[in-house]
Amino acid sequence: MMQPIVLGIETSCDETAIGIVRGRTLLANVIASSVDEHARFGGVVPEIASRAHLEAMMPSIERALKDAKLSLKDIDAIAVTAGPGLVGALLVGVAAASGLALGLQRPLYGVNHLAAHVSVDYLTHHDALKPAIALLVSGGHSSLLQVNDITQSITKLGATMDDAAGEAFDKIARVLDLGFPGGPAIDRIAKEGDSAAIDFPRGLTTSQDWQDRPYDFSFSGLKTAVARYIEATPHHIRRDVAASFQEAVVDVLLLKALAACKNTGIDLLVIAGGVAANSRLRTLAAKRCETAGIQLRIPGPELCTDNGAMVASLGSLMVAAGRPPTSGGFDADSGLPVERVGL
């Protein structure tokens, strides 16, 4: 049987992203980002993001088809991010996908943005699907998930109680005058700093926290501690502050993720989302997983941030698993829970 060719559309935030896969083989991954338009505001402006999606949608689809050496008639199914995300941005993608599916008479799969981040891992290997613990860390989400079946069974073990990890990176970068987005900027400058210079707090890691909320995160206290340190230390060394802050975030993420692996008996950890591109997280995860005997998979940096390949990947996996397509018209859901893999 021929493997299905699936076109994926991702518009949950500020990237207009189109991916095309054949089975679990990536054929095209096109990203048109409006991040530069948001930089002067210090964060994503929803109205600007929606307008940018409208302008970039068709050129991005055309470029993806060209890169894959395909035409629209070659597409077997359409997948689109239905949520969570910015509702206006999501609606642009859902409308485009619905129009394509209707015009081409192809099945349409509305999929979960968070599950799609995890599913992109399956484009990097051809191993059989098996249960995994997923550490999903991005600008909008920080969650620990137990993935029993990526196409239908995901359980949220824990999540951030305040700021997401990527959001904390952005806010501290702003305090350090490093610009937006903050994650890559802190990653760069931290390489020159001393990660042990300042002992910043690790949120929710007291003995009581491990009993009450072992898999939840909190970064607001860390963010406050960094801001107070900078205010109290006029001649602080910026690279050391960045490195010590980054170490605190990475340390607690991995403490919780490896605890989830140990307590569930699942020996596979997948790290996904934009923060998974962080070089310190990738390095420390590799060391700690090797020590713990845990198999680690992290997609390449280009597949960590929002992209269309991850949406196409999840759509392809759902087709292969015989999951039914989304029936009738559907709306974007800005608060779609991760347990709802597809609509």
The pLDDT value recorded for residue 281 is 98
Average pLDDT over residues 125-135: 92
Could you name the CATH architecture of 130-298?
2-Layer Sandwich (3.30)
Q: Are 274 and 166 in contact (CB under 8 A)?
A: yes
Element (H, E) at 54: helix 46-68
Higher pLDDT among residues 2 and 53, named by residue: 53
The pLDDT value recorded for residue 137 is 97
pLDDT above 70 as % of the chain? 99
The pLDDT value recorded for residue 128 is 86
Across the chain, where does the E strand assignment appear? 5-10, 15-22, 25-33, 77-83, 108-112, 132-137, 142-149, 153-159, 268-272, 295-297
Q: Is residue 329 predicted with pLDDT exceeding 80?
A: no
- As a residue count, the chain comes to 343
The pLDDT value recorded for residue 38 is 66
Higher pLDDT among residues 4 and 329, named by residue: 4
Peptide bond into 84 cis (omega under 30): yes
Residue 207: Cβ-neighbour burial (10 angstroms; 0-12, 13-18, 19+): exposed
The pLDDT value recorded for residue 2 is 77
Q: Are 246 and 195 in contact (CB under 8 A)?
A: yes
DSSP 91-153: HHHHHHHHHHHHHHT--EEEEEHHHHHHHGGGGS--PPP--EEEEEE-SS-EEEEEEEETTTE
Q: Is residue 250 predicted with pLDDT exceeding 80?
A: yes
Q: Which two tokens stand for residue 15?
A: 């990237």
The candidate with the shortest Cα–Cα distance to 268, out of 302, 235, 296, is: 296
Q: Tens of pLDDT along 227-237? A: 999 999 999 99
Q: Is residue 171 predicted with pLDDT exceeding 60?
A: yes
197, amino acid identity: A
The pLDDT value recorded for residue 10 is 98
Average pLDDT over residues 10-16: 94
| Domain 5-121+304-320 is found in CATH 3.40.250.10 | no
The candidate with the shortest Cα–Cα distance to 311, out of 27, 117, 137, 164, is: 117
Kindly list the domain boundaries of the chain, sorted by start residue. Answer: 5-121+304-320, 130-298
Q: What is the pTM of this model?
A: 0.94
Average pLDDT over residues 62-78: 98
Q: Tens of pLDDT along 267-310? A: 999 999 999 999 999 999 999 999 999 999 999 999 999 999 99
Q: Quick one: pLDDT band at residue 44, thresholds 50, 70, 90?
A: confident
CA–CA separation, 168 and 122 (whole Å): 29
Q: Is residue 1 predicted with pLDDT exceeding 60?
A: no
CA–CA separation, 166 and 275 (whole Å): 6
Indicate if 130-298 has the same CATH topology as 5-121+304-320: yes
Q: Is residue 78 predicted with pLDDT exceeding 60?
A: yes
- Kindly report the number of other CB atoms within 10 A of residue 206's CB atom: 10
